[in-house]
Amino acid sequence: MKHASYDSDCIFCKIIAGEIPSQKVYEDEEVFAFNDINPGAPIHFLIIPKKHLPMLESAQSQDAPLLGRMMELAPRLAQKQGCRPGKEGGFRVMVNNGADGGQEVYHLHLHVLGGPRPWKK
């Protein structure tokens, strides 16, 4: 189903709507998470808001709780996907923002990478 801010030019909006298949990791009213198609580590998934925010500067102060929830979900979903907890385990959270930041898909997303090293990226 298309969400309120669905953008027909955005592949991640299409993934949320189920128009492009993905390996879903998590979904609730506001957030969707799925495995990256080109993983840079043994575990690599993306956490995205359902709201089509192209990049960090698209977020307004009213979006702060949403961004906070995405961060708070990261460790829970990382463990669910097989990352080891605590200091010995862990994971990397990354946002590529804008062309100089290496952003390719303009729907804000947190990369979560983990699992045993070495990693590809």
Residues that bind Zn ion (CB under 5 A): 7, 10, 12-13, 52, 107
Near ligand 5GP by CB under 6 A, which window of 1-9, 30-38, 60-68, 78-86? 30-38
Location of structure tokens 């996907």: 81
- Other C-beta atoms within 10 Å of 87: how many? 6
Which residue's beta carbon is nearest to the bound Zn ion?
10
Check residue 103 for interaction with ligand 5GP (CB under 6 A): yes
52 counts as catalytic: no
What mask, x for binding ligand 5GP by CB under 6 A, covers residues 62 to 101? Answer: ----------------------------------x-----
The SS3 call for residue 99 is coil
Check residue 37 for interaction with ligand 5GP (CB under 6 A): yes
Tokens of 40: 């840079």
Partner whose binding site includes residue 20, from ligand 5GP, Zn ion, none (CB under 5 to 8 Å by kind):
ligand 5GP
d(CA 50, CA 70): 11
| Beta-bridge partners for 113 | 44, 92
Cβ partners under 8 Å of residue 85, min gap 6: 75, 79
Tokens of 70: 């995405």
Partner whose binding site includes residue 104, from ligand 5GP, Zn ion, none (CB under 5 to 8 Å by kind):
ligand 5GP
